[in-house]
Amino acid sequence: MKNTSIVTTGLIAAVALTMSACSTVRDTTDWIPGVDSNEEIKTAEQKEMREAIERERELYADKNAFAPISRTASEADARISVQISQKYAEAEAINPEDIGIEVNAGVVTLTGNVSSNDNAVSVIAIAKNTQGVSRVISKLVVINARPQE
């Protein structure tokens, strides 16, 4: 009997020591393999929520970076393009059909062919002197109609 009580006492002491070593007690599912505790599930859900919010912020930041120009800005650009086209039509030395005009936020890009350097200068000057134009980018090509001698 004495041996049994020593073994029982030792067993109780070992269980007590093990229980005291565990500083936190979780729910009863912790010991089941493959089953997460409620605390772990809540932590995972919170982490997923934070990640979703961060992805959404990044998505909207990208959309704002590439947001289209506002309606008033695009209307102003269209007005600038029409004014420049009208001025080219009034100029005698310029063939408006040969010149492409693209306006984006007040920046005018000119493309096409002109017959001389003087025509290129006047095409650029007309665009620069139009109200609302902040900058002119010339991609004009000068094509000499006269063969070189």
User: Which amino acid is it at 9?
Assistant: T
CATH of domain 71-142: 3.30.1340
| pLDDT (0 to 100) of residue 115 | 86
Contact 140, 110 (CB under 8 A): yes
| pLDDT (0 to 100) of residue 79 | 93
N residues, the chain: 149
Contact 95, 84 (CB under 8 A): no
| pLDDT (0 to 100) of residue 53 | 84
| pLDDT (0 to 100) of residue 123 | 93
| pLDDT (0 to 100) of residue 43 | 81
Comparing CA positions, the residue from 102, 145, 138 lying closest to residue 120 is 138
Contact 126, 91 (CB under 8 A): yes
**What are the 10-residue block averages of pLDDT along the chain, 149 residues in total?**
64 66 54 62 84 80 57 83 92 85 92 89 93 93 69
CA dist., res. 119 & res. 126, Å (int): 11
CA dist., res. 115 & res. 96, Å (int): 12
Q: What is the pTM of this model?
A: 0.50
Residue-range domain boundaries for the chain = 37-67, 71-142
